[in-house]
Amino acid sequence: MKYVEEYRDPELGKKLLEKIRQYSHKPIKLMEFCGGHTVAIFKYGLRQLLPPNIEMLSGPGCPVCVTAAPDLDKAIALSKIPNVIITSFGDMVRVPGSYSSLQQAKAEGSDVRIVYSTQDALAIAQENPDKAVVFIGIGFETTAPTVAASILQAEQEKLKNYYILSLHKICPPIMKAILDRGEVKINGIIYPGHVSAIIGAKPYQFIADDYHIAGAIAGFEPIDLIHAVDSLVMQIEHDHPMVENTYRRGVKDAGNIPALRLMDAVFEVGEANWRGIGMVPGSGLNVREKYAKYDAEKNFTIKTAPSKEPKGCICGAVLRGVSTPDKCKLFRKTCTPEHPVGPCMVSSEGSCATYYQYGDGDGR
């Protein structure tokens, strides 16, 4: 297939769904890791189309949502340092920290600017040589290479006022952490398409080998996702877990080698703080010592008060697949996209925002 319309073909979708119904007999729990997948699944009504024995859970695949309160508090504290310009993607600006948000800090006089790429942040640094420009680096392996490239560009251009607050996270270790917690029994995982385009298929193999859990890498169109579910059902019914790449037009098994090399040149693996989960070893990316002069944490004194979670918010449980947004007492009441209490309602890829826009409240 070559065209988007083919990946939205209702007749092909019906055939795949009928195949799934014929072969799927066991009670099955699947988790889609990616927030983009969650949106697509709800948008196209795939939960309702699948047979009732297949339950789908949403995982921690929204980078804004998994950013922990203490890390948000660091970004907000940085914004209050004189002569500092904070640059960030739009969603991050609205996420509530423990006591405030970057949006509120901006309203109180901090220089907080929304950018669409690191190139925008670099341009701001070039235009403001008398000020420090800090880019809030969030995201998974998908965005980390572009942030790494910005540091190399700053080095090449001898910029002395550009910094990164690296809050980047790595996906496979958090999958392991969720499985090790044992809070939910998962039979299969839909692996993220964009992340997998960078890291490939091999980093997930341990989940099939060590946890005996089926896996399929998926794209973002309805046929992509139904194809991935079909693959997972076949693996589960035949008791043959593997990592199948059903998104070959976007993902190579070995990943994007130049992007991986770029990321490795600038970042080193360390622990990261995940909302609702805590510190997870080997799940974060820290700026290497070689480029320490671009590391905001090493160049500024960041003072924060003890962090706290929004009262009544169950975003952490939602991210772990333990609960669903409609179980939250704040959902659709005090917590809405216009007035979010927690980050899962802020991001367009957050489960709460997705349930709010597309969900029918029945948990499927």
Mean of pLDDT values over 197-208: 98
Q: Tell me the two tokens of residue 234.
A: 């076949």
What tens digit of pLDDT does each residue of 311-343 get?
999 999 999 999 999 999 999 999 999 999 999
Answer yes or no: do 81 and 160 share one domain: yes
Question: What are 54's strand-pairing partners?
Answer: 28
> Of 257, 270, 265, 91, whose CA–CA distance to 168 is shortest?
270
Q: Residue 3 — very low, low, confident or very high, per pLDDT cuts 50/70/90? A: low
Q: Is residue 310 part of a domain?
A: no
Q: Is residue 180 part of a domain?
A: yes
Q: Residue 1 — very low, low, confident or very high, per pLDDT cuts 50/70/90? A: low
> Of 275, 337, 330, whose CA–CA distance to 308 is shortest?
275
Q: Is residue 362 part of a domain?
A: no
Least confident piece of the model among 69-73, 78-82, 124-128, 359-363:
359-363
Element housing 16 (H / E): helix 10-23
In one-letter notation, the amino acid at residue 120 is D
How far is 139 from 91, CA to CA, in rounded Å? 12
Answer yes or no: do 163 and 273 share one domain: yes
Q: Is residue 250 part of a domain?
A: no
Work out whether strand 267-274 and strand 278-287 pair parallel, antiparallel, or are unpaired: antiparallel
pLDDT at 363 over 70: no
Report the number of distinct structural domains present in the chain.
3
Answer yes or no: do 33 and 165 share one domain: no
User: For 216, which DSSP code?
Assistant: E
Q: Is residue 308 part of a domain?
A: no
Answer yes or no: do 138 and 193 share one domain: no
CB 29 within 8 A of CB 312: no
Answer yes or no: do 158 and 188 share one domain: no
Q: Which CATH number characterizes residue 45's domain? A: 3.40.50.11750
State which residues form the domain around 50.
Answer: 4-63+173-245
Return all residues near 132 (Cβ < 8 A) that are at least 6 apart. Answer: 81, 83, 84, 85, 161, 163, 300
User: What's the mean per-residue pLDDT of the chain?
Assistant: 95
Answer yes or no: do 186 and 279 share one domain: no
Q: Is residue 251 part of a domain?
A: no
pLDDT at 59 over 50: yes
Question: pLDDT value at position 141?
Answer: 97
Question: pLDDT value at position 321?
Answer: 94
User: For 246, which DSSP code?
Assistant: -
How far is 95 from 79, CA to CA, in rounded Å? 14
How far is 230 from 234, CA to CA, in rounded Å? 6
The percent of residues in the chain predicted with pLDDT above 70, rounded, is: 98
Answer yes or no: do 106 and 224 share one domain: no
Q: Is residue 110 part of a domain?
A: yes
Q: Tell me the two tokens of residue 41.
A: 């699944």
Answer yes or no: do 267 and 166 share one domain: yes
How far is 136 from 74, CA to CA, in rounded Å? 10
